[in-house]
């Protein structure tokens, strides 16, 4: 293709991703026409032309028109969806190089604007998922490990935001690949343990730290949910158990964010973790560690421990009966808690446990 024709396509691509509001006198039909132009570019331009053009357009937009990157990613996502197997094989290396660059958006171009970073990074991840879903296990493996190597090594030379991007990507991939992702997640568990046991928050902004923890918990929840091949070995379970339970004491982000994180991420993760353990002795160890948190000095932690106990009971059901003798004394203590909210909550939890187990707990008191 001639240089002039290549430049023409680059101009069309750049023009198509502009927001209608960028024009001095936008027509009511301009948005419709821009959408049609994007679809035409995505479906009619061959990969050998479009992929290098996308790379050049990204390099330009990332400097001073970051908001337009979402539209650029939508074009590439549509294009990847129309690529056949031979085209994917031919261009996988080029696509990999591009995505390693685009996944650095948060770290290199948007560290201070969390909302914009979330939006653009989300579009990049959605686009990458379109590629991932068309790859075989054999072709996905090298791509995934290149991403881990690129994003998962935070030190003085690698921005910490890369870790946030990596965990968010893994959570999204786990949701789509389910059990297949579990096969590739062994290399992630040491990183997840490290992130959950950091003595000093990775980020100064509490909102970022809380987001990172939530994403780690959400990803671990999916790994446990889709673990059908005993991936969670005794060694891995022991490495994760205490860091997970200790998150009950992690009050990062303020009361509202703490309650959201516990309810939406931590409690479901602990419940599914218990299911994946499938071992009496490990259930006992997990349950006891949660029970100890019911004696925490902060009533919010005690409430979260109660919610976790109810989740363990709900997930294990009749298997939880063997844990009742050690659980009930802790519940009895909470019935006389100095905090009225805790007192009321333990009454509700006992009632819910009785409904789940189908028998009264009074005989254990």
Encode pLDDT of 103-125 as tens digits: 999 999 998 899 999 999 999 99
Q: What is the pLDDT of residues 163-195, one digit of tens each?
A: 999 999 999 999 999 999 999 999 899 999 999
pLDDT value of position 365: 72
Is residue 202 a contact partner of residue 163, using CB atoms and an 8 Å limit? yes
**Confidence band for 31, pLDDT divided at 50, 70 and 90:** confident
State the Rg of the chain over Cα: 25
Task: Output the six-digit token pair for 232.
Answer: 């969670």
CB 233 within 8 A of CB 199: no
Which residue stretches of the chain are H helix?
3-16, 30-44, 47-64, 69-82, 85-102, 105-109, 114-132, 137-151, 161-177, 179-182, 189-196, 206-225, 234-246, 254-261, 267-277, 280-293, 299-316, 324-334, 340-357
Q: For residue 158, what are the β-bridge partners?
A: 155
Neighbours of 124 (CB within 10 A): 26
Tokens of 98: 């591009």
Q: What is the pTM of this model?
A: 0.93
Contact 342, 306 (CB under 8 A): yes
Q: What is the predicted pLDDT for the residue at 23?
A: 45
pLDDT value of residue 16: 72
- Nearest CA to 291 out of 251, 257, 323 is that of 323
- Buried b / exposed e across 234-252, counting CB within 10 Å, b at 16+? eebbeebbebbbebbebbb
C-alpha 7/C-alpha 303 separation (Å) is 62
pLDDT in tens, 69-98: 999 999 999 999 999 999 999 999 999 999
Residues facing residue 155 across a β-bridge = 158
Q: How many other C-beta atoms lie within 10 A of the C-beta of residue 84?
A: 10
Residue 19: pLDDT over 70 = no
What's the mean per-residue pLDDT of the chain?
Answer: 91
Burial of 338 (0-12, 13-18, 19+ CB in 10 A): exposed
The Cα 68–Cα 169 span in angstroms is 21
User: What backbone phi and psi angles, to 5 degrees, belong to 74?
Assistant: -65, -35
Burial of 307 per CB tally in 10 Å (0-12, 13-18, 19+): buried
Q: 299-316 and 324-334 helices cross at what angle (nearest 10)? A: 150
pLDDT of the residue at 30? 72
pLDDT band at 159 (very low <50, low <70, confident <90, very high): confident
Angle at 117 between CA 54 and CA 93, to 5 degrees: 35
């Amino acid at each position: 293709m001639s240089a002039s024709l290549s430049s023409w396509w680059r101009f069309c691509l750049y023009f198509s991703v502009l927001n209608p509001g960028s024009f001095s006198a936008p027509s009511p039909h301009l948005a419709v026409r821009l959408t049609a132009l994007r679809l035409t570019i995505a479906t009619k331009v061959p990969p050998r032309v479009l992929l290098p053009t996308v790379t050049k357009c990204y390099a330009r937009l990332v400097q001073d028109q970051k908001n337009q990157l979402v539209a650029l990613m939508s074009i590439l996502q549509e294009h990847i969806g129309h690529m056949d197997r031979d085209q994917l094989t031919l261009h996988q290396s080029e696509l990999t190089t591009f995505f390693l660059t685009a996944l650095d958006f948060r770290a290199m171009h948007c560290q201070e604007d969390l909302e914009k970073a979330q939006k653009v990074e989300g579009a990049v991840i959605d686009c990458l998922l379109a590629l991932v879903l068309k790859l075989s296990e054999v072709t996905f493996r090298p791509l995934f490990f290149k991403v881990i190597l690129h994003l998962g090594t935070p030190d003085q030379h690698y921005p910490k935001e890369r870790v946030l991007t990596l965990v968010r990507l893994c959570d999204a991939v786990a949701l789509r690949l389910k059990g297949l992702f579990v096969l590739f997640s062994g290399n992630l568990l040491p990183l997840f343990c490290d992130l959950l046991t950091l003595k000093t928050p990775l980020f100064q902004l509490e909102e970022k730290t809380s987001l990172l923890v939530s994403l780690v918990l959400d990803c671990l929840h999916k790994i446990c949910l889709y673990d059908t091949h005993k991936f969670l070995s005794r060694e891995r379970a022991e490495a994760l158990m205490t860091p997970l339970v200790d998150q009950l004491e992690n009050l990062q982000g303020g009361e509202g964010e703490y309650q959201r994180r516990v309810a939406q991420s931590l409690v479901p993760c602990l419940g599914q973790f218990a299911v994946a353990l499938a071992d009496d002795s490990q259930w006992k160890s997990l349950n006891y560690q949660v029970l100890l948190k019911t004696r925490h000095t902060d009533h919010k932690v005690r409430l979260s421990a109660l919610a976790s106990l109810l989740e363990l009971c709900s997930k294990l059901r009749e298997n939880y009966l063997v844990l009742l003798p050690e659980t009930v004394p802790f519940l009895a203590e909470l019935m006389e808690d100095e905090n009225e909210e805790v007192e009321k909550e333990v009454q509700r939890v006992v009632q819910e446990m009785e409904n789940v187990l189908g028998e009264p707990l009074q005989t254990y008191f």
